[in-house]
Amino acid sequence: MNEFDDMQLLLAAEHWNPHAILGPHPIATAGKQSLRIRAFLPGITEAHLISDKPKAKPVRMKQIHDDGIYEGTLRSTSSTSSYRIRTTDQSGTVTERHDPYAFLPMVTDHDLHLFTEGKLFQAYETLGAHVRTIQGITGVHFVVWAPNASRVSVVGEFNLWDGRCHQMSGRGGTGLWELFIPDLSPGTLYKYEIRARNQQAPFLKADPYAFSAELRPRTASIVHDLSTYQWLDQNWMEHRTQSNPLTSPMSIYEVHLGSWMRVPGEGGRWLTYRELADKLIPYVQHMGYTYIELMPVTEHPFDGSWGYQATGYFAATSRFGPPEDFMAFIDASHRAGIGVIMDWAPAHFPDDPHGLAWFDGTHLYDHEDPRLGYHPDWKSRIFNYGRVEVRNFLQNSALFWLDKYHIDGLRVDAVASMLYRDYARKADEWVPNQFGGNENLEAVEFLKELNVQVHKTHPGAITIAEESTAWPGVSKPTYTGGLGFTFKWNMGWMHDMLDYFQKDPVHRKYHQNQITFGLLYAFNENFVLVLSHDEVVHGKKSLLDKMPGDQWQRFANLRALYGYMYSHPGKKMLFMGGEFGQWWEWNHDDSLQWHLCEQEPHVGLQRFVHDLNWLYRNEPALHEVDYDWTGFQWIDINDTEHSTISFLRKAKEQDNQIVCACNFTPIPRQDYRIGVPFLSRYRELLNSDAQIYGGSNMGNGGGVQAEPIPAHGFPHSITVTLPPLSVLYFKAE
């Protein structure tokens, strides 16, 4: 291709390597080394080269093409000589700037190789927009993956969104494009203008690796430097590497930041990250939770998606403030002794035109075949896990939040939809894998790789799978054939419990198996018992409103559910509002009903959850051995007529045991005998029917004395009063 053809491609904004034409190129003039410098300056009437050398005189550039290509020569012995271009536009405005094409592409061959192999696990340090100082000049280095584009440009207010001005250079078969633009700074708005090979008209895309983005409905990416925040959570981070989450207490408060609390005096606006740090974290700390789980804070265009339809996999949503404020929120949480788990959604992405869909004019991040690439339930695109660059993009997103934001764990959304090709599909709407099965083998490998990398690079960090099927080994190590998650949501337990507790107590004796069935599989996985946001929306009612009976019975039922939950093997998670008995279904556009916390019996329920959390944290028998039979033993599961059960929870030290007794009817059980292992006085640690919780205040006077009377296979027994709709904990003194 000759020089004329190159210029025509450049002028048409179709050139894949503008550095070959623009910028400095060594030439020899009169036996001396010089630089011939070309620049594309549309709309300019005059241009001069200004050397950064002291006392250098401006050199007028000659216009060599009517559409705005200028050329000039500087005497220099180095091809890296620094210079500026001074321009005068048609209005007479004079501007000076460094030439972006004076800086050669900077992504190393090693990184290019790792990227194509899917092994560039800190790609977020390379791709995207990074403030860098090159040859003493500060600017922004842009790198984007668009292998099927014929041209990519960086556009923004700095070039009047003109895609001809800052055309990027392609890096061959890697599909990467890059350009360093000097003199840009944090806060710059930008997008990529992409010309696809099969389309005439270029289109705009937000940066998939952007660290910040405009608030909807605006969609530009924002240059942001994440390195300026000074973390103060070193003690927490060091301690985390030494902790074992499987044996530690884990009580999780699930939160949607936009609706936990709003400011009614200011139009019901959201709290900012800083305000949330001041209000939410002390509340969670007081209530005794050990973790906050945030519904997705990745940038998303539609509030009603709750963050699960993300467009910014590396950007904290700007709804509540800048990235540093979110860092400050996490920092404050850690200094208060509370971990932060973030919901993360690698199962699908929306088809918003500025997002990942049709990114370079092709199905780059998803499958072209809708039987593989389109989710019929969520009307969204499914990632192509068979493509190494896509897997690497998602792995980088996960590692990014752990690295840059000190997130303590990721709850991975919709894992079941990733594992099965026929998930939510009819018989003719899916394609079997190469062996004829319905498993998504590429997604399986991605999840294994993800968990290996997370646990390898961030010791103490956790991953939690929202997986609703019986896929084996979700929370087992990959070297034993598992997927490698730390924990798995126990969806079966959740559905059984809610179904049971919604029944009128008179019928519960016929459904005792729903209470006990969970113990048949409780130790197959590392389960988290969840009462999540999904169970209090879309007409399902709030937890309190699900309960049967009059108001007193509803509160008593809910306390009994929580009491049983905290005594059952497995870590715990409760969605916000459930701790004080929200009457309304959750509404993402409104605040929780905080005024209820000034009224009984909501105050009593909130106090019960507070005491339950702290007791759970302080008693090793309730959390140390959650995933083995040595931490649990039935006492009696056969009293179906009275809808009662009793069992032991045990710590690693087997003499540290707690007796749990449950009465799931509104009829008190007097002189109720329960077998126990020790001839001792048993202190009543917790009684969900206590008056301070809103109960009838029946109980056992603080404790009972065991007698040498065998019962339920134990050598001793206690005789207790089981209050109506109650859960009691006893501990041998």
pLDDT in tens, 297-344: 999 999 999 999 999 999 999 999 999 999 999 999 999 999 999 999
**Dihedral angle, C-alpha 67, 73, 76, 81, nearest 10 °:** -20
pLDDT at residue number 1: 54
How does pLDDT run across 643-680, given as a tens digit for each residue? 999 999 999 998 999 999 999 999 999 999 999 999 99
pLDDT at residue 3 greater than cutoff 80: no
Classified as helix, coil or strand, 374 is: strand
Average pLDDT estimate for 257-281: 96
The answer to the question of residue 241 being in a domain is no
Read off φ and ψ for residue 177, nearest 5 degrees. Answer: -125, 140
Which domain range does residue 392 map to?
250-485
Question: For residue 52, what pLDDT is reported?
Answer: 80
> Has residue 114 been placed in a domain?
yes
What is the rounded distance in angstroms from the CA atom of residue 224 to the CA atom of residue 732? 58
Question: Is residue 570 domain-resident?
Answer: no
Q: Please tell me the predicted confidence (pLDDT) of residue 33.
A: 82
The pLDDT confidence band at residue 56, using thresholds 50, 70 and 90, is confident
Same domain, 429 and 325: yes
**355 pLDDT above the threshold of 60:** yes
Distance CA 578, CA 571 (A): 17
Is the pLDDT confidence value at 2 over 70?
Answer: no
Span of 1-15, 128-142, 648-662 with lowest mean pLDDT: 1-15
pLDDT of residue 28: 76
pLDDT of 77 over the 60 cut: no
Examine the pLDDT at 70 and tell me if it is beyond 90: yes
| Residues near 113 by beta carbon (within 8 Å), at least 6 away in sequence | none
Instruction: Decide which of 485, 509, 544 is a domain's last residue.
Output: 485
One-letter amino acid for residue 638 of the chain: N
The one catalytic residue among 193, 413, 626, 684: 413
- Lowest-confidence pick of 81-90, 202-211, 390-399: 81-90
Q: Would you place residue 619 in the very low, low, confident or very high pLDDT band (cuts 50, 70, 90)?
A: very high
Q: Are residues 196 and 124 in the same domain?
A: yes
| For range 532-549, the mean pLDDT | 97
Predicted confidence at residue 147, as pLDDT, reads 96
Same domain, 118 and 58: no
Q: What pLDDT shows up at residue 208?
A: 98
- 233 part of a folded domain: no
pLDDT at 80: 55
Co-location of 326 and 452 in the same domain: yes
pLDDT of 54 over the 90 cut: no
Q: Residues 270, 591: contact at Cβ < 8 Å?
A: no
Query: Are residues 370 and 479 both part of a single domain?
Result: yes
Residue 13: pLDDT band with limits 50, 70, 90? confident
* Closest residue by Cα to residue 289 from 688, 612, 607: 612
Residue type, 443: A
Shared domain for 168 and 290, answered yes or no, is no
Residue 614 lies in a domain: no
pLDDT value, residue 314: 98
Determine contact, residues 436/456, Cβ cutoff 8 Å. Answer: no
Mean pLDDT of all residues in 587-593: 96
Which residues touch 6 (CB under 8 Å, ≥6 apart)? Answer: 15, 20, 21
Q: How confident is the model at residue 197 (pLDDT cuts 50, 70, 90)?
A: confident
The residue-averaged pLDDT of 162-179 equals: 94
pLDDT at 10 over 90: no
Is residue 155 pLDDT above 90, yes or no? yes
**Rounded distance, CA 442 to CA 439, Å?**
9
Q: Are residues 223 and 122 in the same domain?
A: yes
Q: What is the pLDDT of residue 14?
A: 77
d(CA 120, CA 108): 12
Q: Which of 54-58, 79-83, 557-561 has the highest mean pLDDT?
A: 557-561
Q: Residue 650 in contact with residue 247, Cβ under 8 Å?
A: no
User: At a CB cut-off of 8 Å and minimum separation 6, what does 383 contact?
Assistant: 346, 347, 348, 349, 365, 366, 390, 394
> Which of 228, 262, 284 is a domain's end point?
228
Judgement on whether residues 39 and 122 belong to the same structural domain of the protein = no
- Return the pLDDT at 53: 78
Domain count, the chain: 4
- Is 585 tagged catalytic? no
Domain at 190, CATH number: 2.60.40.10
Predicted confidence at residue 11, as pLDDT, reads 81
Could you give the strand order of the β-sheet that contains 176-182, starting from the edge strand earlier in sequence? 128-134, 137-145, 176-182, 169-170
Mean of per-residue pLDDT scores for the chain: 95
Please count the other Cβ atoms lying within 10 Å of the Cβ belonging to residue 240. 20
Residue of 324, 331, 466, 619 marked active site: 466
Label residue 588 by pLDDT band (50, 70, 90). very high
pLDDT at position 81, please?
Answer: 61
pLDDT at 34: 85
Tokens representing 585 are: 């279904």
Domain of 647: which CATH number? 2.60.40.1180
In a domain, 528, yes or no: no
What confidence category does residue 179 fall into, taking pLDDT thresholds of 50, 70 and 90?
very high
Q: Are residues 173 and 273 in the same domain?
A: no
CA-nearest of 264, 259, 279 to 319 is 259
Pairs from 160-167 (Cβ < 8 Å, separation ≥ 24): 161/191, 161/193, 162/42, 163/13, 163/193, 163/195, 163/202, 164/11, 164/13, 164/40, 164/42, 165/40, 165/42, 166/100, 167/10, 167/13, 167/15, 167/18
Could you please report the per-residue DSSP string of 568-635? SSSEEEEETTTTTT--SPP-TTS---GGGGGSTTHHHHHHHHHHHHHHHHH-GGGTTT-SSGGGEEEE
Instruction: Look at residues 72, 98, 124 and tell me which one is the last residue of a structural domain.
Output: 98
Cβ atoms of 489 and 467 within 8 Å: the answer is: yes
Q: How many whole angstroms separate alpha carbon 448 and alpha carbon 502?
A: 38
Residues 119 and 223 in one domain: yes
Q: Is the pLDDT of residue 513 over 60?
A: yes
Provide the residue type at 383 as one letter: F
Distance CA(122)–CA(128), nearest Å, equals 12
Does 472 map to a domain?
Answer: yes
Residue 523, Cβ neighbours under 10 Å: how many? 18
User: Do 180 and 311 lie in a common domain?
Assistant: no
Residue 468 is assigned to a structural domain of this protein: yes
Statement to judge: residues 191 and 272 lie in one domain: no
Pick from 291, 201, 281: which is nearest to 243 by CA? 291
Region for residue 710 given its phi and psi (left: phi exceeds 0; alpha: psi -120 to 50; beta: otherwise): beta
To the query of whether residue 275 is one of the catalytic residues in this protein, the response is no
